[in-house]
Structure 1
Amino acid sequence: MAEHKHGEMDITVQTKTFNGFIKFTTYSVVVICFIALFLAIFGA
């Protein structure tokens, strides 16, 4: 079994995926808050 060396693996794809997930989640929460605010104000 080979020795594991911390920080040697290329993680660019995982980093891009994580950043995309965080961005999508942030935008989704903002949109949901605006929808909830709209419904609270106009009482739909």
Structure 2
Amino acid sequence: MAEHKHGEMDISVQEKTFATFMSMVTKGTIFCIVLLIFIALVNG
């Protein structure tokens, strides 16, 4: 069994995936808020 050495694994792919996920969540949230405001304005 190999010895585990903390911090040696390449996590660049995971970091990029997480950054993309957070970007999509942020954009989705902003879209939902804008959509709700638009619906509220249209319904008067």
TM-score past 0.5 threshold: yes
Instruction: Report how many aligned residue pairs link the two structures.
Output: 44
Give CA deviations for 1:1-28 in whole Å, capped at 9, x if unaligned: 1111111000000100000000011001
Q: Give the whole-Å Cα distance in 1 for the aligned partners of 2:43 and 2:12.
A: 46
| % identical equivalent positions | 45
Alignment RMSD (CA, Å): 1.3
Q: Give the whole-Å Cα distance in 2 for the aligned partners of 1:17 and 1:38.
A: 31
Letter in 1 for 2:32: I
Do structure 1's residue 19 and structure 2's residue 19 form an aligned pair? yes
Q: Give the whole-Å Cα distance in 2 for the aligned partners of 1:7 and 1:41.
A: 51
Residue aligning to 1:4: 4
The runs of 5 or more residues in structure 2 that have no matched partner are: none
Structure 1 moving runs of 4+ over 6 Å: none
